[in-house]
Each structure stands twice: as C-alpha cells, then as structure tokens.
A and B are shown apart, each in its own frame.
Chain A
C-alpha cells in the first residue's frame, strides 16, 4: 500500500504539446521510500517517486539513483532543492522514453540509492501495480556501483548477504579470486530479479537492465530480462571519441573497507586493485574534464536524450503510433 500524494501540475506558459506531461492535470507522488534505499541515508529529496497516469495501456517503470532522478541536469539539483515535478519527468530519460512509447510512467529515482535499494524499490512497485490496469509493463532498471549497498541494513535472506559474509566457513569450498566476486555480485542481483519477474508474470513484464558506471560483470545472458550495454558513462564518452574503460568500484576505499575482509575472496589481488585504480583515475578525469553539453558529473539533458534514443533502439519498445 503506497500513501500517494496527488500533486497538481501548474500550467507552464512556455510548455509545448511535445512535452510528455502536456494535458496532464496532476500526478501521484510518493517520498516515503528512502528507508529501503539501503544507502547511508544522508540524502533527502522530494519527488523521488512519481506515477503519471494518462490512461495508456502500457506502463513504463524506471528506477535508479541520481542519474535517473535527473541530478546534474540544468534544472535538477537536490542540494539546492531543485526538484520540480515537471523537470523530473521532462528532462530525464524516463519521461522522454514514456513519450516515445506512448505509455504511462512510474519512475523512482533517488540520489545515493544502492542496487539493493533500487531492486527493493522495483519489487515494491511491482507488488503495487494495479492488476488489470495495464496490458503490458515495461521496466528499465538503472543499476549503480556495487559499493553503495549497506549490507548491515539488508533483511535476512537477502541474496547479497552470502557474498558479503566475513565469517563464511569454507569446508571444502574453494575461495574465489577477487575478479570473480564481481561476477557473483551480478549473478546474485540478477537471480533475485529473475525470480521477481517470474513471480509477477501476470503483469506481462518486459524488463531491461543497464548500469551507469560499471560494465556487466557476468557473462550469463539466460535471464528473463535483457541486459543493455555499454554502461551509460561509456556511451557518453563515445560522443567525445573516448573509449572509456569502466572501473569496478566507484569508491576505491571499498577494497580496503569491505572486499579485503570478505571470507569468500582468496586474497586481495593487488595487481587487480592497482589496475582498477588506474582506470578509476582516467574515469575521474573524464568526469572532471568533459563537463560540457554532453556530460558533467551527472548526465545533462542532452545526455538523457541520447540515452533515451539508445534505450528506444535497444529495447525495441514501440507505441501503436511507432510501429
């Protein structure tokens, strides 16, 4: 049960009929969701979860963290409390893609969100989509860096807990190399998602998953969802003629504060770590030096538009008017 607030949308003189929200009088907003983000809890935002009901037969659900929220675009900045509902929809890939495929939209983006929080948000939303309202439900899941999960907050039985264990007893079970841990991370998350898709098969789900910072680490592609590659940041870099290599972690101290303690990892492979830190430096340089029309520390509206078209092409999702 979600305690929605009905938020009226005020007329904008400069709005055009090309906008997704053209003619929409109000939307539903829910901000009672941060306790399940499983991050450090220092972010407070508004209009994080918005449901736009236009009476369409298809629902598009988008989820993620600050990139999906629209942080860093010209008009959205949670530090300055700039989070207008129209901007949250119109400048981000969520509203643009919903317009392209002529669907209703349910978007949940929260700066600082973790992958476990994003997935928890998706599972909560899927449980709350009214049965019978939509003939199909499209879902675009934006995953973030793995070092944001606050495992101490995860509920018992969560799929990530075994790979984060610091006390696993290896009775005949071989330990794994550091690189393999990242594959296990993907597979733990993806198995959880796969199970949830099967559980909600009555919604006629079509799900895609992409990452903003990292590459997909597992080679498995036998899931009930489509994996979109490359990462959003690598996609952006291509517009600067840069072949950007994605690093494994967003916060380098993740190696010392967490990974070196995990009992399933054979040892902290310093060659691997040093190599990843070299990549991380290039990655930071890209963020600092290419904060132009295409990408700053977060995507600009142009980047959101380009990513929309990329998702549109990759998913094959079409409206009845785009056959």
Chain B
C-alpha cells in the first residue's frame, strides 16, 4: 500500500521519509508542501 499526494503526485517513500503511521498530521509533502491529509492510498 502506497500513499500519493493528490496535489502533486509525490509517492511517499517510507525508507527516506519515515513510516507513514509515525508521521505527524502536519508532515509536509517534500515536493509541494501539502499536508498528510492531502495524501490518498493507491
């Protein structure tokens, strides 16, 4: 299961950016600055 930022299409990389469950709600998308809430599961 992967998470993609619907603002810019960045796919979350758990190895580089940390485990999804551990990320805070204000975790910024590294590409566009969107929030965790802007991600969808693919």
Q: Which residues of chain A have a CB within 8 Å of any CB of chain B?
A: 18, 96, 99-100, 239, 293-294, 301-302, 304-310, 312
Contacts and interface: CB of A to CB of B under 8 A. Distances in A.
B11 A306 contact: yes
A308 B8 CA distance: 6
B9 A307 contact: yes
B16 interface: no
A305 B5 contact: yes
B9 A96 contact: yes
B10 to A, nearest CB: 6
A96 B5 CA distance: 11
Interface of B: 4-11, 31-35, 38, 40-42
Contacts of B11: 306, 309
Q: Which 7 A-B pairs have the closest CB atoms?
A: A309-B9, A305-B9, A308-B9, A306-B9, A305-B6, A18-B34, A302-B40
B31 A100 contact: yes
Contacts of B41: 293
B8 A293 contact: no
Given A239-B42, A293-B41, A306-B11, 13 more contacts: A18-B33, A18-B34, A18-B35, A18-B38, A96-B7, A96-B8, A96-B9, A301-B6, A302-B6, A307-B9, A309-B8, A309-B11, A312-B8
B8 A99 contact: yes
Nearest to B7: A18
Nearest to A18: B34
Contacts of B33: 18
Contact of A294 (B10, B31, B42): B42
A12 B10 CA distance: 25
A139 B9 CA distance: 19
Nearest to A96: B8
A262 B5 CA distance: 47
Contacts of A18: 7, 32-35, 38
A96 B10 CA distance: 11
